Amino acid sequence: MTGYLGVDRSLTGRRWIGPAPEVARQAEALVQQTGLAPALCQTLARLGVPPEEVSTYLEPTLRALLPDPRSLRDMERAAERLLRAVRNRERIAIFADYDVDGGASAALLIDWLRQLDRRATLYVPDRIDEGYGPNEPAMQDLARDHDLIVCVDCGTLSHGPIAAADGADVVVLDHHLGGETLPDAYAVVNPNRQDEDGSLAHLCAAGVVFLALVEAGRQMREAGGQGPDLMSMLDLVSLATVADVAPLKGVNRALVRQGLKVMAQRARPGIVALCDVGRLDTAPKSYHLGFVLGPRVNAGGRIGKADLGARLLSTMDPHEARAMAERLDALNSERREIEEAVRAQALEQAEERGLDAPLVWAAGEGWHPGVVGIVASRLKERTNRPAVVIGFDGDEGKGSGRSVSGIDLGASIQKLAAEGLLQKGGGHKMAAGLSLSRDQLEPAMARLSELLTRQGADQLGASDLRLDGPLMPGAATPELVDLLEDAGPFGAGAAAPRFVFPDVQIGFAKRVGSSHLKLSFGDGIGARIDAICFGAFDGPLGPALEQHGGARFHLAGRLEINEWGGRRSVQLRLEDAAQATE
């Protein structure tokens, strides 16, 4: 099949794929029936939105999309136990994972309890010393001093540690893939339990916590009381949903859309401080949650103090928030340097094994456990293959894996753990964590390759670039970009629209920093657009466009608004290009 606009191999080596014929027909029908802009209709058609649902899709509301929390097993029991602890002034501890989802989940509970004049002990395990999830010593210590322990974004597979919490009740609010049996907790609320129907499997842990608080509010109203304002907490839910790469479908769309509105009000000191150190001068969009705010919150759990992110998100003190945000910003810069060193070594090692294998993996001595997940993501993006990266400290190895669409990595990792090929392992379809000894390394990776091959990982080709259609420079207005935003939020499971500007001429092109490219282009009729391509000189894109020699190109990417000096203009975030054939 010939690529879109005849592009079978772009400057980055990808084939371009345009809208399928049925999607193109649906887009035309939407234009006729709704009168909306063709570019917006192309996006809606690709997302599978039928004409009769366009208006509700463009304005997702929690009222229409929020599921009944009681549809999840153990939910009523979990909410009742939480309320009993509040009512009886019991001692409450929150055991949270060290990533954004765990931190936001903990902050949700801390905020909710604060509004009820209650406090909780926050415990976040150290990634290096304790690893992911509850451990027996920590749970024993917490149980001695607390009546209720709430595990957020962890706990579903923690049979031993939860059993060790003698004398305390344990409630688990999680979303990671469950095993055949559940730990002996007071309640385990998890849409990915094996006895759930999977209809809410797309929720992150913060989404599960939010539903638990919704159910607690229902029980409070039933008893004649009034609970805290949950809508004001949606900024935390939206941050976690996007940063944890949860699919933006169903209720997740409404949670993120409403959460961004709450975030724009700049009421939560921790998120305000994050926006300020991230130099955001506009209201955050979903992109900023995933690539500006999220990495900074994660930095504490990766290479700093594990509970720093959760403490930042839960503090009400602007001065404390500013200090913690600055610390996280510095840690994030340090994380980038560590990541780059590991990435170079891992890529070299993976290339020796072959980047077309069903599993791309690398392992090295002293690789920081806090960056192996990010490096696995980089390898996955480079190869369009599942990737695992493991850092060893002596005989002990800790690793992370990232997968591609259609390949369930978490289930395979869990199977390895059940077969005794790992010390510990689990996760979900797109991401997983594992611990193993040096002797287990080769057998485990061989077995994992075998399991992934059964899912078709060896048949994956180079990733194609999917385009929503063509756009002329004159049609790319700020008003169009605003319209396209209404079809969002965009992220996992709902990719942002990507358009191609066909047969355009580059006006100027210059290198920015060490690897980025800035350019402007037009169609010769009059309209011109600025474009930025990050990392252009890490591959062939930068040199080819910088030395364009007057040639005409097809330029592909995503539209965004550039605000400068009170003026709004359209900018193309350039992702790929191909020389236009004469």
Question: Is 237 inside a domain boundary?
Answer: yes
Question: Could you report the per-residue pLDDT of 158-189, keeping only the tens digit for each?
Answer: 999 999 999 999 999 999 989 899 999 999 99
CA distance 28 to 45: 9
Query: Which of 459, 481, 501 is at the close of a domain?
Result: 459
pLDDT recorded at residue 582? 60
| Residue 519 belongs to domain with CATH number | 2.40.50.460
Give me the chain's average pLDDT, please: 94
Is residue 501's pLDDT more than 80? yes
Total-model pTM: 0.87
| Residue 454 belongs to domain with CATH number | 3.10.310.30
Query: Which of 257, 282, 300 is at the close of a domain?
Result: 257
Is residue 524's pLDDT more than 90? no
Question: Is 364 inside a domain boundary?
Answer: yes
Question: Is 10 inside a domain boundary?
Answer: no
Residues 6+ apart with CB under 8 A from 59: 486
More confident: 426 or 455? 455
Structural domain containing residue 368 = 354-459
Residues 6+ apart with CB under 8 A from 317: 269
Question: Could you report the per-residue pLDDT of 483-500, keeping only the tens digit for each?
Answer: 999 898 888 888 899 999
Question: Could you report the per-residue pLDDT of 40-86, keeping only the tens digit for each?
Answer: 999 999 999 999 999 999 999 999 999 999 999 999 999 999 999 99
Query: Which of 257, 276, 303 is at the close of a domain?
Result: 257
What type of residue is 315? T
| Residue 169 belongs to domain with CATH number | 3.90.1640.30
CA distance 319 to 332: 20
Query: For residue 138, what are its two tokens?
Result: 């920590």
94 lies in the same domain as 230: yes
Report the candidate in 169, 213, 209 with the shortest Cα–Cα distance to residue 191.
209
Query: What's the domain count of the chain?
Result: 3
Sign, Cα dihedral of 292, 294, 297, 298:
negative
196 lies in the same domain as 172: yes
215 lies in the same domain as 188: yes
Is residue 461's pLDDT more than 70? no
Which class for 38: exposed (0-12), middle (13-18), buried (19 or more C-beta within 10 A)?
Answer: middle
Average pLDDT over residues 117-122: 97
Collapsed DSSP state (helix, strand, coil) of residue 437: strand
443 lies in the same domain as 529: no
432 lies in the same domain as 532: no
477 lies in the same domain as 516: yes
Question: Is 42 inside a domain boundary?
Answer: no
DSSP state of 385: S
Question: Is 59 inside a domain boundary?
Answer: no
Average pLDDT over residues 333-348: 94
Report the candidate in 517, 513, 515, 580 with the shortest Cα–Cα distance to residue 550.
580
- Residue pair 548/506 in contact (Cβ under 8 Å)? The answer is yes
Residue where the block lists tokens 């994972």: 97
Question: Is 52 inside a domain boundary?
Answer: no
179 lies in the same domain as 136: yes
Beta-sheet strands, E only, within 112-263? 120-123, 148-152, 169-173, 187-189
Query: For residue 166, what are its two tokens?
Result: 């003698």
CA distance 78 to 563: 46
Question: Is 486 inside a domain boundary?
Answer: yes
71 lies in the same domain as 116: yes
DSSP state of 149: E
Question: Is 119 inside a domain boundary?
Answer: yes
215 lies in the same domain as 96: yes
Query: For residue 539, what are its two tokens?
Result: 């591959």
**From the CB of residue 568, how many other CB atoms can be counted at a distance below 10 Å?**
14
Question: Could you report the per-residue pLDDT of 411-442, keeping only the tens digit for each?
Answer: 999 999 999 999 999 888 888 999 999 999 99
